[in-house]
Amino acid sequence: MRTTVPTSTISLLKPLKTEIFPEVDKELARWKEKAQKIPDQDLRNQALASIEAKRFHCQGGSLYAFLAGDKWKEAITFIVAYQTISDYLDNLCDRSTSLDPADFRLLHESLRAATHPEHQGKNYYALREEQQDNGYLSELVQTCQSQLAMLELSPVQPTLDRLVSLYTDLQVHKHVAIAERVPRLKRWYEEENTNSELTWYEFAASAGSTLTVFCLVSYALGGKVDKWEANMISQGYFPYMQGLHILLDYYIDQKEDLEENDLNFCFYYPSEAKMQQQFSMFIRRAADQIDQLSDSAFHQMIRNGLVGLYLADPKVKHLPSQRKMVKSLLKESGKTAQLFYSLIRMYYRLK
């Protein structure tokens, strides 16, 4: 693959089709084969479901492999393994036999270990009934660690730790007993948030993305990041780029989350008009912040791709006021997002 970072949709498409996505498919096939051998039925079901239903998370995250240069395959190996941990644990907590916050926190210690090659493995299932996964979660962690083992991580480690900590807190608070979720999230927001522009549910959404982790690790693999750059990336992506990512994800999942009684941050907007207004704000703020970064054209393309990808999802057609929302957000985002939207809609029609 060319080691230059693409700056246009056209320059992105060929390597995505011929190199990036086939490599993602290869990695996912490997993890699916291992998931099929998990002895515990509940763990096996959730592992397989996370791979089948959330494949596009790995595909989207894999775009950051362009930032790793010659190490793009190593970046994809890390991204797919890390995202698979995230999606697997989200499924486990969503459909959990436990409502114990200590159980959820222990499970998510695996994500911290995944970004610390020196961490030794442990039984992440120790506080729940289901135990036998045939080493599946530990092997995912070790795969992430092995990609980072030879890197100098000190410039990015504090930022990675902060991101993983916020992500873990979110996953704990949002999966406890239903009556406790919002009070816990509001208390956490008051303790952690310093941005007066965000509501508690927008802050929570901003903590739920893995994009900045993928960006930092890919840059580190490419040998192109120091502590100053890591801080700039963190400020460029959090909260608005990450928040835009997860709010769009929640936006398309509203129907199924309502049916499953799952927490969805879009439900807390007082009106469709207010949600549209705030989504537009996230689009603008994200554009402003990432414009300060190296490879800003690439990061802007990711932002536009997120908008186009999610708004083109077939699930959107089931949502109220969707035509007005889609038209408004595409207009706010610009022509590149509209191009992504058209291409992805065409893909779904052909599929």
For residue range 255-282, list pLDDT tens digits in order. 989 988 889 999 999 999 999 999 999 9
Helix axes 72-94, 211-221, angle to 10 degrees: 160
What's the rounded Cα separation, in Å, for the pair 88 and 68? 25
For residue range 75-88, list pLDDT tens digits in order. 999 999 999 999 99
| Whole-number pLDDT of residue 260 | 85
pLDDT band with cut points at 50, 70 and 90 for residue 3: low
3-state secondary structure 88-157: HHHHHHHCCCCCCHHHHHHHHHHHHHHCCCCCCCCCCCCCCCCCCCCCHHHHHHHHHHHHHCCCCCCCCH
| Whole-number pLDDT of residue 56 | 87
For residue range 299-328, list pLDDT tens digits in order. 999 999 999 999 999 999 888 888 999 999
- Average the pLDDT over 96-103 and give the result: 88
Q: Is the pLDDT of residue 2 over 60?
A: no
Q: Is the pLDDT of residue 97 over 80?
A: no
| Whole-number pLDDT of residue 96 | 74
- Residues 132 and 39 sit within 8 Å (Cβ to Cβ): yes
Q: Is the pLDDT of residue 180 over 90?
A: yes
| Whole-number pLDDT of residue 82 | 98
The tally of CA atoms less than 13 A away on the side-chain side of residue 310 is 25
pTM: 0.94
| Whole-number pLDDT of residue 348 | 82
| Whole-number pLDDT of residue 321 | 84
Residues 6+ apart with CB under 8 A from 73: 23, 65
Which among 7-11, 117-121, 145-149 has the top mean pLDDT? Answer: 145-149
Mean pLDDT for the chain?
A: 94
Residues 6+ apart with CB under 8 A from 149: 117
Distances (CA, A) of 330 to 299, 308, 312, 325, 342: 17, 7, 10, 9, 11
For residue range 26-37, list pLDDT tens digits in order. 999 999 999 999
Domain extents for the chain?
A: 10-227, 239-351
